[in-house]
Structure 1
């Protein structure tokens, strides 16, 4: 656990790196240890004034001394002989100030290490020489013939910091080495000017009409050098929107005649960059401090331009915070979360009471209480058991299920204080994190959850206990009303795969609710637009498929997260927010039939209909949405909606990037979904077919209406126009009689119905509905292939699915433009299929031509028509090398 905790400290440092360059050249050295003879004046083989950590786990038999025969630049170094225990040695405190940032560089060499690792730490101490900040380098292990460089920084000290200390560490987890060697050498600390971009919640999220203010704090400048502050504003497409370059001078004479300069009024200076209000979207501020024309420090921050909103009391979307860290903006988290459209938040609580900060548990309680006030339900994550409890499992650790399957007397003492402190604020508790697999497939799962719940109920009430599951394993058969499962996979499911798995959940286990955890695509290897599209489609899929809650995993994760460590938004914050605010607490009501088959999912909430629309192929859709409708892209940016002056229908440019349609007229949306055909299909035979248009008055008042049926050319419809009246909520039925032409092709045909409705005003609504020609009792399939010798092979398959079974005969004709038709005959087709082949020369000349197969039933009324374009699927087919049978090849002129 010691190694694990040190690694956590290291990972927290990976923000705020210096500009690439030579640390020695760019900084002012303040501390250096090479362990040569002048640093061991008393010749006790220990560096002067260094102190060694003592106590349990740090045995003094582990050898720590100066090695006088091994050095990187000199002849000596600090050596630790590995011998099964931890070891740490600290430098004497060195006085520093809070106006500078500090960087560390050192070198480590290791031999024969398998389980142990060597690291260097930097500690900042207050005036009482108590540690207030702690940073750890990356671990070095294994065998290295050359010295390994490790660096840290720039490290910004807190205002109360007065001293700095270097630590050299040997650490391990459960397994440890009993032999090996570690050397430390050339440990060096230097100071840099300090550059900070001052952030808080109100700077991360800016109202659309507000001025942008970017505050930079600069300190620790050397009057002997020339400095410049460069600022750039970048949007989500990595385009530069604005820039500024400001000379920073300390001599008043240098300001004269230099309009782009600023006289520093002290060692600490705050510069405010003011920008006009920006369009909705994500922005990044890149700040660079230049000294003597060389960039020495860079800082970045981000903000989102949005319409600030009030949180809704209920919804399905949530966040997972699986790890705590020092930078976590606990006090700002409720406000940030409320602007993200979430109503659930998972937070690790097992180790909160173990913090050395006596105020930490109170700050967490206040944060959870504020979340509840914002309509955000806290979920206590029990994912990091205390070290003494975890250590009892040693090598057999699989996850927290091992703890909770033990008697309550084993684990409850470690949680009594947590439960007592937080059960008044937290009713939902998850055993293990969203990566804990230890409950999956457990035999006595129901009993385990009941035992934990009963223990929780001793302190709280109405508690809910949940676990992590995956999509690969059938969900547990469990009918507990106070349990839940949080489902996700290590392997990401795309939107289509997620829909399949959620459909299985609907038909499967009785255990619920079912929560879905979504992990966004990582920054590395994916474009921002691709990441946003993927996240939005999966969010919408989880919503319309009925997931009880939808979580974003590890929102502070560097690769996948929605927030940076300081609470500022990442690129994916806005796509998440756009969808969650749109669909928060909404009900899925169906999908519209759009002329160009764009995927869409329609939801209703309050008096609003919301639709999310996309199409893998760019297209334009025309549809009336209501008088107040507007559209945004996934970044929340408004999209201009054009309208046809005559029909008043909106023109939507639809691409693979979803658009979100807001403030759509809910009454119109329900009308569109209610209107349909009574049958919607006809037999594949000539003659008339009775059908009817069905609908429902979805307006809040009685309506008068006119309906017109639009059918493909050649179809006869009587009547095709109707007038009708309908009271509020009343259904109506408009009868018609359709006669299809003998050349009507099988399959779905686009038929539309135009409604002119007179309610409090006139509404014109076009509803698209597919009409199926053929009942599916007789199916025709056609495939064309290009063979060797430029021969076109056409395969015709007719399937007999009639019930009761009929014996069928067909006369089949292949019509080719400007050519003589070809015929085949099918006799005595019973249950099953018949296969016929046609061969034509000059396949390339026919590519792109429309061909037509017509199968007429002998002694019957069925006529099957199939039209297709030659060569549409050639690229997807495997190369065909067989030659056509000469006796089957027909030359047509």
Structure 2
């Protein structure tokens, strides 16, 4: 469309200024600043336009360039800057109609200063401006507050190109679909040729992996009718075409998907559009729950009706919304807001009124840096009229009122905060019988939770966000608060540009679980449309965290936290539920398979809402745990409580062999009826007397089963599994295991064993014998490896010390994957330490 390289043909009158270009001169843009063509080449031009900056700014503009918004436009400019510290260097592309009236100005990112040539790129610009007929390129160096002195900026080759336009429209406006709904994407291209290659269509998952790819030919027709004259000469020679293509997207499983379409453009260029789709699993509507959204910008970018639908689909039961108004508000705006609040109440949503941005009549008293604490500390006469009007209009629909946004920590910083909150609460109480007032609060500051505090709720937040464990710990510390204020927790997810998606999902789900387990009244996402961490994109389409949020909301809902149980593979878990059926969140830092009986009809739901029955393994179920949390439904709660109540009397025994040690097993009947049954202690070479016992228990009755444990000579030291099997006759017979650990050795003397292949091909077994007692010890150590001669070594270990010995086994490659047994027997004493490890190269 337009190209300029500042060569001699661009300056036919030799005045060192590009022909037909203009320069801005006036306030802030002094004429004395030098701006001219110089013999300084850029990577793709023989000369460049130099601006010498010495206070003030410069701006140069091209002549009008004919354009057609049938196409997308891309502006590329080579730029080099020296001495720039404060000024902004950027380009613009301005569009005009037939009367030279400006319609739109697009602005590029700012250049990063440096001695190297850099490329400033603006676009592709897909503008809905059918009346645009021309465009102007602008080159800008403008002060940002303080102006630069003795700086230079060179502008090299300018290239304004055009590409075919490519757009997509879904049959649901914001990409939220229920499972089973048809997903249809309609693509339109403008400015293509009659023989444009087929459109490449892809389905991507949340992490960008391609799930399906296909090619779809266009339905092509001329862009201009036979009686229409294209506005540009080049378009008359090569008439452009329009293309249409509909795609019935084959999505079946719930999840987050991205539909990508790629159009091959002239000269190897490619146009690509992507649109997200959230396919939502069917769920029962929940009556209550602790999770909500804070919407400090109101409904933007959605309208109120679309926002209501998003709230309904998400399952949240709390919404914070700006409702501050005054007599400047139009009746239509008040009616629409009232309708929105009424609908929220109809959906069972608790609404919190945000007093975070004053209405039009008070905005002269508020800036972007004003805190709610500062504003409400002013004379009551300033803000009372608008507050009274707001309460009178919406008080029946909104019972809680938050002063400031969730990130407004102004009340933490002021000393007279109690007085401010008391004054506002008094004004609210004049209009509402039970109006509640609260503010945001920094987690790291002592909260105002004493008996006489005026706060009825506190919105806790801090930056960076608390981890799940920190949330639980802080909430536990406030459990005995005197004034009964509700505690709300900030659930801002980790930023998408700083953490991988699996880590962000796990962090969010576990913090939501911590809110529920910790007893907080509510947990809020501070802004679901935040570009960095939102549940939606700024354009209103779902982001990748929307479905994990929704899945967690429905799984946790109003269930009671029930602690956790020990799983055989040590996966971490949190249990929730009431009655006899519950839900368990399970996760493990490393992939792990858990095998145990959990209930009769047990299913697992992943974070994307995909549900499947747990496969059976005899009487047990098999659960594949990993870093992403899973929601296990149908957990039999009486059995889970039985596992929690079952305890070993002694969990650490001395590493002394062939000598009985007393222990006991305590457990309680957690079924709602009387039970009878038997318990079997583990075998595996350990000698237990008695190995089994029978019992009869009333509901909630406890029993203790004593036993003697004798370790065999080859019993391995360290933490060992101790699995107890129960057979219980209740409403029917249940067979299940309870998983304990028993540490062999008192932990004061132990061995660390590592293996590796050395350069000579030997398997080195590094033995570190640690003595944490205050007495020197001596051990006879023996190493057993398959098909190798036993190696023996006597070692003396000083008090509170350690000794390292390395065994070398030839032909080590043959031993990789084999079990190596190390035995350390204390000389003259009964202590024996057995350790087994699998030989590894590192």
TM over 0.5: yes
Once the two structures are superposed, residues 512-542 of structure 1 have per-residue CA deviations (whole angstroms, 9 ceiling, x without a partner) of: 4332223333333543333333333333344
Deviates more, 1:75-84 or 1:751-760: 75-84
2:506 & 2:425 partners in 1: Cα distance? 39
1:317 positional shift:
2.1
- Please state if 1:753 is matched with 2:724: yes
Q: Distance in 1 between matches of 2:722 and 2:435?
A: 53
Change (3 A) 1:683 1:24: same
Deviation of 1:285 (Å): 0.6
The answer to whether the 8 Å contact 2:192/2:242 transfers is no
**8 Å contact kept, 1:281–1:306:** yes
Choose the corresponding residue for 1:571, options 534, 540, 544.
544
Instruction: Tell me what 1:794 maps to.
Output: 769
Q: Secondary structure at the match of 1:660?
A: strand
TM-superposed CA distance for 1:421, in Å, is 5.0
Supply the distance in 2 between the matched residues of 1:455 and 1:118 (Cα, whole angstroms): 51
Find the partner of 1:621 among 568, 578, 594: 594
CA displacement, residues 576-616 of structure 1 (integer Å, 9 cap, x when unaligned): 22222211222210211112211111111576311111222
2:458 aligns with 485
State how far apart, in whole Å, the 2-side matches of 1:172 and 1:133 are. Answer: 23
Instruction: Summarize the Cα distance change of 1:680–1:111 in structure 2 as closer, same or farther, 3 Å threshold.
Output: closer
Instruction: Give the unaligned 5+ runs of structure 2.
Output: 5-16, 39-46, 224-239, 755-763, 784-789, 811-818
Deviation per residue, 1:228-268 (Å, 9 max, x gap): 5332211234124132322242169xxxxxxxxxxxxx998
Q: Which of 750, 755, 759 is the aligned partner of 1:782?
A: 750
CA distance in 1, matches of 2:799, 2:478: 40
- Judged with a 3 Å threshold, the aligned counterparts in structure 2 of structure 1 residues 170 and 687 are, in CA distance, closer, same or farther, namely same
Distance verdict in 2 for CA 1:246–1:874, change over 3 Å: closer
- 1:456 touches 1:463 (CA, 8 Å); kept in 2? yes
Distance 1:690 1:793, change over 3 A: closer
Q: 2:678 touches 2:692 (CA, 8 Å); kept in 1?
A: no
Look up the match of 2:234.
none
- Indicate conservation of the 8 Å contact 1:225/1:292, yes or no: no
Q: Distance in 2 between matches of 1:478 and 1:455?
A: 22
Report SS of the residue matched to 1:334.
helix
1:215 aligns with 2:186: yes
User: TM (normalized to structure 2)?
Assistant: 0.73
Partner secondary structure for residue 579 of structure 1: helix
Q: Tell me the distance in 1 between the aligned counterparts of 2:321 and 2:78.
A: 38
2:624 maps to which of 636, 643, 653: 653
Structure 1: how far apart are the matches of 2:388 and 2:135?
Answer: 37
Contact 2:109 2:120 in 1 (8 A): no
Residues 781-835 of structure 1: per-residue CA shift (max 9 Å, x gap): 436599xx99966331238xxxxxxxxx99976554567796989xxxxxxxx92
CA deviation string 1:56-88 (max 9, x = no partner): xxxxx947799997467999999999999xx99
**Contact 1:36–1:75 (8 Å) recurs in 2:** no
Which residue pairs with 2:403 in the alignment? 431
Matches within 5 A, 1:531-610: 531-605=504-578, 608-610=581-583
2:218–2:245: 8 Å Cα contact kept in structure 1?
no
Counterparts of 2:343 and 2:96 in 1: how far apart (Å)? 32
Matched, 1:236 2:206: yes
- Displacement after TM superposition at 1:682 (Å): 7.8
SS in structure 2 of the partner of residue 331 of structure 1 = helix
Q: Where do 1:425-464 residues align within 5 Å?
A: 425-464=397-436
Gaps (5+ residues) in structure 1?
1-21, 26-34, 48-60, 253-265, 800-808, 826-833, 858-862, 876-893
Aligned match for 1:670, one of 635, 638, 641: 641
How far does the alpha carbon of each residue in 1:729-781 deviate from its partner, in whole angstroms, 9 at most, with x for none?
x123344221122668887653333333344443222222345779xxx7624
CA RMSD of aligned residues (A): 5.7
Distance 1:855 1:427, change over 3 A: farther
Alignment partner of 1:798: what SS?
Answer: coil
- Structure-1-length-normalised TM-score: 0.70
State the Cα distance separating 1:323 from its structure 2 match: 3.9
User: Match of 1:738?
Assistant: 707
Q: Distance in 2 between matches of 1:492 and 1:662?
A: 29
SS of residue matched to 2:722? strand
1:314-373 per-position Cα deviation (integer Å, ceiling 9, x unaligned): 112223444468633543222223333322233455589989x98556555544443333
Q: 1:629 offset after TM fit, Å?
A: 1.1
Change (3 A) 1:402 1:178: farther
Deviations 1:404-434 (A, max 9, x none): 2333234445656655554443333333333
CA distance in 2, matches of 1:374, 1:126: 48
Q: 1:564 to 1:505 in 2, by over 3 A?
A: same
CA distances 1:643-667 after superposition (whole Å, capped 9, x unpaired): 123xx20012222332221233334
Count of paired positions: 775
**Structure 2 SS opposite 1:215:** strand
More divergent stretch after superposition (591-600 vs 241-250): 241-250
Aligned residue in 2 for 1:311: 285
Q: In 2, Cα distance between the equivalents of 1:183 and 1:388?
A: 45
The CA deviation at 1:312 is: 1.5
Give the whole-Å Cα distance in 2 for the aligned partners of 1:330 and 1:123: 33
Distance 2:838 2:592 in 1: 23
Q: Which residue of 2 aligns with 1:262?
A: none
